[in-house]
Amino acid sequence: MKNEELKNRDLDVLWHPCTQMKDHESLPLTPIKKGYGIYLEDFEGNKYIDAISSWWVNLFGHSNPYINEKIKEQLDTLEHVILAGFTQEPIIRLSERLVKLTPDGLDKCFYADNGSSAVEVALKMSFHAHKNDGKLKDTFVSLRNSYHGETIGALSVGDVELYKDTYAPLLINTIQTAVPKDMTIESAIESAKEFEKLCQEKADKLSAIILEPLIQGAGYMHMYHPHFLKLVRDICTKYDVHLIADEVMVGFGRTGYMFACESASITPDFLVLSKGITGGYLPLSVVLTTNNIYSKFYCDYNEHKAFLHSHSYTGNTLACSAANATLDIFEKDKKIEKNKEKIEYIAKKLQKFKILKNVKEIRQTGMISVVELKGYNPEERIGLKVYQYALKKGVLLRPLGHVVYFMPPYIITNEEIDKMMDTAYEAILDLI
């Protein structure tokens, strides 16, 4: 089987996500035959470093032998079971572990099967918790430039034009407040003031603020100081507004902490997790919340306060076994500790981009590092040029517009970091 044959068959029957399909008249698709470690390999034996962890999901490499083994073990016992009225051992074990690992006070796990649907769960649960308390708080706040997924509710709290504008007439009303403009403590304080002012004016209507702790992913990998999280937590408590921490992208070690909320020692009212939870293997998401929120729904059936949200594949057993295997690797390999050296190595490599005259800024939080370019307009699609250049050299980068970023699986070696970053450097140089 050749790449060419598969490309043609694909384009006959598939419509790809996040893609203008006409681009594929000139831009070839890359059919992947297999994955191992940080590499993807096509049908002609070309290898690509997966520098974006396949849409930010993969943590310990493709075809990880340990995760494979654990999924195979589970496969022969139970693949899936309805989670209403029934339960299974892998999901109980996973929930016990998540409750222990996440910030203190998050005691209950509610499952779904992707990041967007978990965001919907958190929004609905927040609204419903207030309602069960007799309060109609029907407005959500989010940060400017935020991204929380693409279902209608998640898109409504997002603020990236590219995804949101077309659907504006369909969306629910939300309010956007300032995100700190840079990584300084001063801008954290300034932005928190805007949120506090909003709460002073409208707290009786505000159900929750949702934010991406430390890094706004699809919002061009914008980064801010942890102090902002602390300030927002305090304001939320003062005004009875829930805090929803969307760690779909930043959770499971990406920021250098297991969970980004740890950077500010805060406990949100809702913590949303997905992507890395299964090591990048299977769709799964979870919303953790407090016993206090849980208790607002706990009463006799006829009081009509139950949270009746459900998805067919909620808490899929195979996905839970992949998630348990992923947590095993974190534990036995002390991954958070070990990543520190890699974070430092990447920081050193990143410095070299500063001398390029088309580089506006470099920035890094933990295992996510960024080179932001300047002097181009969107029509030039320089991100696409960087993508094409790097792919030819065996590296899968997927810049967000003029922002080139690196988010590799944690098993990447220093030599592979060299190859990934040197290739990006050449690609950026080639634009000049």
Ligand X SMILES: Cc1ncc(COP(=O)(O)O)c(C=O)c1O
Residues found near ligand X in the complex (CB under 6 A): 114-116, 119, 147-149, 212, 217-218, 246, 248-249, 274
Q: Nearer Cβ to ligand X, position 94 or 273?
A: 273
Q: Least CB distance from residue 215 to ligand X, whole Å? A: 9
Question: Is the CB of residue 60 less than 8 Å from the CB of residue 411?
Answer: yes
Q: Nearer Cβ to ligand X, position 149 or 279?
A: 149
Q: Least CB distance from residue 241 to ligand X, whole Å? A: 20
Q: Least CB distance from residue 244 to ligand X, whole Å? A: 10
Q: Nearer Cβ to ligand X, position 349 or 398?
A: 398
Q: Nearer Cβ to ligand X, position 187 or 278?
A: 278
d(Cα 262, Cα 161) in Å, to the nearest integer?
30
Is 232 buried (19+), middle (13-18) or exposed (0-12) by CB count in 10 A?
A: buried
Tokens of 50: 């997966």
Question: Is the CB of residue 57 less than 8 Å from the CB of residue 72?
Answer: no
Tokens of 298: 């706990």
Closest CA to 335 of 422, 254, 416: 254
Q: Least CB distance from residue 163 to ligand X, whole Å? A: 10
Q: Considering Cα of 36, then 41, then 43, then 46, what sign does the dihedral take?
A: negative
Q: Nearer Cβ to ligand X, position 31 or 283?
A: 283
Q: How far is CA 101 from the centre of its chain?
A: 18
For helices 317-332 and 335-351, angle between their N-to-C axes, nearest 10 degrees: 80
Q: Nearer Cβ to ligand X, position 52 or 373?
A: 52
Q: Least CB distance from residue 133 to ligand X, whole Å? A: 27
Q: Least CB distance from residue 246 to ligand X, whole Å? A: 5
Where in 265-367 does DSSP place strands (E)?
A: 270-273, 285-289, 359-365
Q: Least CB distance from residue 38 to ligand X, whole Å? A: 20
Closest residue to ligand X using C-beta atoms: 115
Length of the chain: 432
For helices 317-332 and 65-75, angle between their N-to-C axes, nearest 10 degrees: 150
Q: How far is CA 193 from the centre of its chain?
A: 26
The phi and psi torsions of 160 (rounded to 5 degrees) equal -100, 115
Q: Least CB distance from residue 272 to ligand X, whole Å? A: 7
Starting at the earlier edge strand, list the strands of the sheet with 395-396: 32-36, 39-42, 47-50, 395-396
Q: Nearer Cβ to ligand X, position 273 or 386?
A: 273
Q: Least CB distance from residue 113 to ligand X, whole Å? A: 9
Q: Nearer Cβ to ligand X, position 147 or 353?
A: 147
Question: Is the CB of residue 256 less than 8 Å from the CB of residue 339?
Answer: yes
Query: In angstroms, what CA-CA distances link 426 with 171, 353, 385?
Result: 42, 10, 12
Q: Nearer Cβ to ligand X, position 188 or 272?
A: 272
Q: Nearer Cβ to ligand X, position 55 or 376?
A: 55
Per DSSP, helices labelled H in 227-316 are 227-239, 291-295
Closest CA to 432 of 363, 373, 391, 364: 373
Q: Nearer Cβ to ligand X, position 284 or 359?
A: 284
Residue 403's H or E segment, with its range, is: strand 403-406
Dihedral in degrees, nearest 10, Cα atoms 169, 172, 178, 179: -100
Q: Least CB distance from residue 25 to ligand X, whole Å? A: 27
Question: Is the CB of residue 67 less than 8 Å from the CB of residue 284?
Answer: no
Q: Least CB distance from residue 36 to ligand X, whole Å? A: 24
